[in-house]
Amino acid sequence: MPRLASFLVVLLPLLLSAVRAAAHSNGGFGFKATLRHVDANGGYTEAQLLARAVQRSRARVAALQSLATSLPANVITTARILVRASEGEYLMDMGIGTPPRYYSAILDTGSDLIWTQCAPCLLCVDQPTPYFDPTQSPTYVRLTCSSPMCNALYYPLCFQKVCVYQYFYGDSASTAGVLANETFTFGTNTTRVTVPSISFGCGSINSGALANSSGMVGFGRGSLSLVSQLGSPRFSYCLTSFLSPTPSRFYFGVYATLNSSNTSTSGPVQSTPFVVNPALPTMYFLNMTGISVGGDLLGIDPSVFAINDADGTGGVIIDSGTTITYLAQPAYDTVRAAFVSQIKLPLLNVTDASVLDTCFNWPPPPRQSVTLPEVVFHFDGADMVLPLPNYMYSDTSTGALCLAMAPSVDGSIIGNFQHQNFHVLYDLENSLLSFVPAPCNLT
Ligand SMILES: *[C@@H]1O[C@H](CO)[C@@H](O)[C@H](O)[C@H]1NC(C)=O
Ligand SMILES: *[C@@H]1O[C@H](CO)[C@@H](O)[C@H](O)[C@H]1NC(C)=O
Ligand SMILES: *[C@@H]1O[C@H](CO)[C@@H](O)[C@H](O)[C@H]1NC(C)=O
Ligand SMILES: *[C@@H]1O[C@H](CO)[C@@H](O)[C@H](O)[C@H]1NC(C)=O
């Protein structure tokens, strides 16, 4: 027996490195996956889909703003680091443990932690799959308080030398439990990879909404996020039309490229650098320089898009979990005024401002033809020319034609409605966001 045990001790690291090597073959590490919209199976009408997404986005924006407005200025900077929004828009399937148990997690570029609800659960939220049971997986290892990943947490706790995490989201959702290492499986059939020793939260006290998923997978810039842990820090996604049931596509590592033959693109690839906001280091801030409507560069003061150095408020982020784009109020007012002056249709007096508020009356057929202005988001070094379906929403039942943007009292958020049918690459190594128009429903 002792001989066998020492044999295993020698063999196990070899076995594990063999798994890693397999994952890294073919010129590098990577996988492909699909993303499912959270409401894809809910049987909602187009108008309901949009209303639900706008409600979730509103909650997300409110979460980002909550601490900034409720705390004294000197604590805002540290407090903002802890603010995250719990709900998301896209789900990714992954396997956890040995053998893998599959579950879907909310993909979130606005937070770092990977977590799922674990058995035995003290306080859990409804989820579609059974809770992960660590006693059934031999690869599960609890992390000690001295482990680097434990120290990467903002609120580490130590219980009998085991690292206990607590993670709070701005909308009062939270998760707490043991920080552990486990083997994860990612990707679809042909690109499936199994990766040992991913640090994740095994949550036994959880609150908030999970949007029909079983946890979250953080893709933020912090060290606990999946993109940071996998050490091949680039990912890309191609989101299908918001109203289409076709799943969207996700690429990691070597597969995350806008130049590959697996993506048919139209137009040149454009790139803009990420900007770091020390008060929100997890999030992907961009340097937005202006907005054009109908060929006119609008007169928006650049300070409207700038990060406020004193407290970290303001700025512009790109976010997987926000649907429509939220523009800082002065920018929104200017865009709205440009639409009102350029669209030759009567402006609707929107009473239900819970949805969209720049709406025009465009009664059902026979419709008068109308010219809609082109919209371009300008970033440092890149112009995003938005296709019409990425900023105008036509409600066929009411005849309302609405601008899919809303005002924000804090910073601006480029939402995912605006990059439908764009292939968007987050390249952390080069600190660049790149994008190119692409028909995302074609594989
Ligand atoms: C959760 O997903 C299941 C299966 O995909 C679906 O039948 C159900 O309606 C969803 N529930 C919600 C609340 O979206
Ligand atoms: C957990 O995973 C991290 C990252 O792969 C690794 O550095 C660390 O040694 C692992 N810890 C244990 C106890 O397995
Ligand atoms: C695409 O390929 C070109 C030429 O090989 C390269 O210069 C560029 O950086 C690549 N862009 C991206 C986003 O990968
Ligand atoms: C944003 O881009 C503009 C134009 O390229 C540049 O002048 C400015 O320094 C950039 N700001 C930041 C914070 O990178």
378 CA to centre of ligand 4 in angstroms: 12
272 CA to centre of ligand 4 in angstroms: 10
Average pLDDT over the chain, rounded to an integer: 85
pLDDT, tens digit, for every residue of 5-23? 333 333 333 333 333 433 4
Among all ligands shown, which has an atom nearest to the Cα of 163?
Answer: 2
Q: Which CATH architecture has domain 29-253?
A: Beta Barrel (2.40)
> Which has more confidence, 41 or 69?
41
Query: What per-residue confidence (pLDDT) applies to 59?
Result: 78
Average pLDDT over residues 47-67: 78
Buried b (16+ CB within 10 A) or exposed e, 275-309: bebebbebbbbbbbbbbbbbeeeeebeeebbbbbe
> Which has more confidence, 263 or 39?
39
Query: Known catalytic residue: 380?
Result: no
What does the block give as tokens for 392? 């105008």
Nearest to 198 by CA among 35, 28, 430, 19: 19
Query: Known catalytic residue: 427?
Result: no
Band (pLDDT 50/70/90 cuts) for residue 354 is low
Is there an atom of ligand 2 within 6 Å of 197 CB?
A: yes
pLDDT, tens digit, for every residue of 264-316? 667 789 999 999 998 888 899 999 999 999 999 999 999 999 999 888 889 99
Band (pLDDT 50/70/90 cuts) for residue 167 is confident
Lowest mean pLDDT among 71-80, 186-195, 349-358: 71-80
- CATH 2.40.70.10 residue ranges for the chain: 29-253, 270-437
In this structure, which CATH number among 2.40.70.10, 1.25.40.10, 2.40.50.100, 3.40.50.150 belongs to the domain 270-437? Answer: 2.40.70.10
pLDDT at residue 78 tops 80 = no
Query: What per-residue confidence (pLDDT) applies to 389?
Result: 93
Is there an atom of ligand 2 within 6 Å of 183 CB?
A: no
Query: What per-residue confidence (pLDDT) applies to 117?
Result: 95
Nearest CA owner, ligand 2 atom 13: 143
- How many alpha carbons fall within 13 Å on the CB side of residue 216? 35
CA angle 64, 69, 73 (to 5 degrees): 110
- Return the residue matching tokens 């604590």: 75
Query: What per-residue confidence (pLDDT) applies to 64?
Result: 66
Mutate to test the pocket of ligand 2, among 20, 149, 181 (most ligand atoms within 8 A of CB): 181
Mutate to test the pocket of ligand 3, among 234, 259, 270, 430 (most ligand atoms within 8 A of CB): 259
Query: What per-residue confidence (pLDDT) applies to 8?
Result: 31
Which is the catalytic residue, given 319, 357, 410, 427? 319
Most distant CA pair in the chain: distance in Å? 85
pLDDT at residue 160 tops 50 = yes
Is there an atom of ligand 2 within 6 Å of 139 CB?
A: no
Beta carbons of 115 and 207 less than 8 angstroms apart: no
pLDDT at residue 3 tops 70 = no
Nearest CA owner, ligand 4 atom 11: 287
Query: What per-residue confidence (pLDDT) applies to 306?
Result: 97
pLDDT, tens digit, for every residue of 364-410? 777 778 889 999 999 999 999 999 999 999 887 788 899 999 999 88
231: Cβ–Cβ under 8 A, 6 or more apart, which residues? 29
Query: What per-residue confidence (pLDDT) applies to 251?
Result: 95
Mutate to test the pocket of ligand 1, among 37, 39, 41, 56 (most ligand atoms within 8 A of CB): 41
Average pLDDT over residues 205-217: 86
